[in-house]
Amino acid sequence: MCPECRLRARPEPARRLTVEQYVRRFPATTLLLVINIGVFLAMWVSHVSPVSPSVNQLLRWGATSGEKVLFYNQWWRVVTSAFVHIGAAHLILNMWSLWLMGTLAEAVLGTSLYVGGYLICAVAGSITSLYWNPVVVEAGASGALMGILGVLLSVLTFARLPVPRQVVSSTTRSLAMGAALTLAIGILPHIANSAHVGGLVCGLILGFLLSLTRRASYVVQRPLRWACLLLPLLLMFPFALAAQRHGRPWLHYARAFNALRESRLSQAEEEGRAAQRHLPRDTRILEILGVTLAYEGKDAEAGKYLREVLAREPQNPWATNALATIELKEGDAVGARDLLTKALAEGSDNAYGEVYLGRALQQLNDDDGAILRYRKALAINPDLYDAQMALGSLYEKRGKPKQAIRFYGKAAELQPQQIEPLQALVRAYSAAGMRAQADKTLAEIEHRESAQKEAAASTEKDK
């Protein structure tokens, strides 16, 4: 062959598509990119942080929330959440993946099947996330993208496409590595690996079903492929109901926990009982309900639940501390001591438990043991007001005012609004012969009491 003929026979290098050519060839991928980026820009224009949007902002724009979906039936969120992203970095990573995989998927599947598969996998990822962790707000296209990756893996593996085996093998290997890497990254905190898993599993099944249609006659292939989309979609309904049944108790539990943390005890009890109706023997639910009832003074019922928790988890700190306070309140210092001694094993970091054990030992006239326990509590958490006051009181009782001053002073720093540590300091200063410091502290007490009276009088006048 002459040089000219050889040159003519050489294949032309692949030319990069222009934007217009790309849009015409891959309209669905282009549209998905535009929608995702457009939503992000609209959020930014609406004063949503492009780096770290708040939970309320994400919910306003359509993110998935167990409370919104499972309690209030806002099921549209399982679709809209796939177009909302939690910051620019999240968007950029997902859009880069969409551009790479979407182009390939649209070429292999065609526009209609690609869009249908993308949306179905997005829904599967969202529902899996609701089932796995219903109390977390989640958003992003990751579930849909993992689904498309799964579709491609199955189709390239099972569909017997008229493509060179070497190309199929290298592409499949790259996709499998991408899936493994994404799932590995999903182990990190604040990443919804459940959505990744749900989308991927749905995509693998969908791709396998689509691959089987190639073995049917050409006439029925098209309706069969649409049936393949319809089947996973129909399976979403029982899956959604299962997510609702599974998630509701934990949403009640989360509400109870938040209410207890904010001292809204009646609401905490109501939500705790609602969770218990679904899961009557779950340790975490019995724990939150027992602690709430203990704070409300419903000691008999609280004790029943807390003992059941401790029978399964003998070192549970919340249950131990709540039950110990009940026993101390009832005057059973021996019972509180035995309970806490058993629960506070070597290496325990239950600082409040050490404080309660110190109180029990004080009631049993074991001041030396009480001092050891209060000091251990402060070794775990130096900012425990109760431990500082208790040690000050014990050293004052033992006639060691200078040591008492150190602990009372720290207590006054921890809770400067409290008068009690200042009054204790006056006593300790006086006992140590430190008259000037005692007079100064006494003047501070009088100033605070006068300010409190004026504030009370002003409030009464406003009424």
CA distances from 323 to 211, 262, 305, 316 (A): 61, 21, 10, 11
Q: Which residues lie closer than 8 Å to 403 by C-beta, 6 or more apart?
A: 395
pLDDT at 459 (0 to 100)? 67
Dihedral in degrees, nearest 10, Cα atoms 362, 366, 371, 376: -90
Q: Supply 118's token pair.
A: 């993308």
pLDDT at 51 (0 to 100)? 92
pLDDT at 323 (0 to 100)? 95
Q: Do 22-215 and 382-453 fold alike per CATH?
A: no
Is-contact 260 318, C-beta < 8 A? no
pLDDT digits (tens, 9 = 90+) for 391-404: 999 999 999 999 99
Instruction: List helix spans (H) across 262-366.
Output: 265-278, 283-295, 299-312, 317-329, 333-343, 351-363
pLDDT at 187 (0 to 100)? 77
Residues (pLDDT < 70) of the chain are 1-15, 346-347, 457, 459-463
pLDDT at 128 (0 to 100)? 95
pLDDT digits (tens, 9 = 90+) for 406-437: 999 999 999 988 999 999 999 999 999 999 99
Q: Which CATH number fits domain 22-215: 1.20.1540.10, 3.40.50.10490, 3.40.50.1220, 3.30.9.10?
A: 1.20.1540.10
Is-contact 339 320, C-beta < 8 A? yes
Q: What is the pTM of this model?
A: 0.80
How is the chain split into domains, by residue range?
A: 22-215, 382-453
Q: Which CATH number fits domain 382-453: 3.40.309.10, 3.40.50.2300, 3.30.70.380, 1.25.40.10?
A: 1.25.40.10
